[in-house]
Amino acid sequence: MLPNREHINIAIIDDHPIVMEGLQKVLRNAYNYVNTFCFTTGNDFLNYLKNNELETDIALLDITLPDINGIELCRLVKLASPNVCVLAFSNHNERGTILKMLKQGASGYLLKNAAADEVVECINEAMKGNLAFTREVKEIMSKPTMDDFKAVPVLTKREKEILKLIADGVTTVLIAERLFLSPLTIETHRRNLMQKFEVKNAPEMIKMAIRLELL
């Protein structure tokens, strides 16, 4: 049992029934009195919060949901109900994703391959006001990547505009038409962007821009 707590209310936001069923079983075995509320979309949970803010202690949410990104959902949940303790429960193990969740107010990050006792331990730690990570997440966070040491490239207003369009999948010709520039000028900007990001192609550039929070 949690210290000084008789009941715990946990919301599970995940679009995989087997995940929800497994979590519910784990939680029922761990706590004498637990109420679980399951939602398959982020918007369903946000709508629930409007009228039941005080009935949710923990929100276990996936990063990949049908209607909203889990990082954005975390931000909205904390805006609507700051007292709700948000824990990511995901298969995504990228350091950048973990950091983004924490920046949006998450109290921890759990990987779905964690053992049941790890999940319960993380919930208990979060309820005490501590940051909670499963073992693999702790290892990921303890090992900085080369990206952590890269300086954020300084982009011009035009370069930021073109970078966003490239990330949206717009072709060079269409970018040129939208910005009233020549395709050759757009290709020059594209090459300059890749040089600034120190990458060899557009997909790598987009990934790097996301990691550096430029997209």
Across the range 136-145, mean pLDDT stands at 84
pLDDT value for 27: 94
201: tokens are 């192609």
Q: Among 142, 159, 189, which residue terminates a domain?
A: 142
Find the radius of gyration of the CA atoms of the chain. 21
Nearest to 107 by CA among 58, 40, 45: 58
- Which pTM was predicted? 0.68
Alpha carbon distances (Å) from 71 to 62, 126, 139, 187: 9, 18, 21, 33
Are 138 and 152 within one domain? no
pLDDT value for 50: 87
Q: Say if CB 56 and CB 84 are below 8 A apart.
A: yes
Q: What percent of the chain has pLDDT over 70?
A: 93
pLDDT value for 90: 95
Alpha carbon distances (Å) from 74 to 29, 50, 173: 27, 15, 37
Across the range 78-84, mean pLDDT stands at 92
pLDDT value for 210: 82
Predicted confidence (pLDDT) at residue 152 exceeds the cutoff of 90: no
* Boundaries of domain holding 111: 8-142
The model's confidence at residue 207, banded by pLDDT at 50, 70 and 90, is confident
Phi (first) and psi of residue 127, to 5 degrees: -70, -20
Burial class (CB in 10 A: 0-12, 13-18, 19+), 213: exposed
pLDDT value for 3: 44
Are 108 and 197 within one domain? no
User: Mean pLDDT, the chain, as a whole number?
Assistant: 90
Residue 3 lies in a domain: no
Tally of domains within the chain: 2
Residue 2 lies in a domain: no
pLDDT value for 2: 45
pLDDT value for 150: 63
Predicted confidence (pLDDT) at residue 115 exceeds the cutoff of 60: yes
Are 171 and 87 within one domain? no
Contacts of 116 (CB under 8 A, 6+ apart): 26, 29, 30
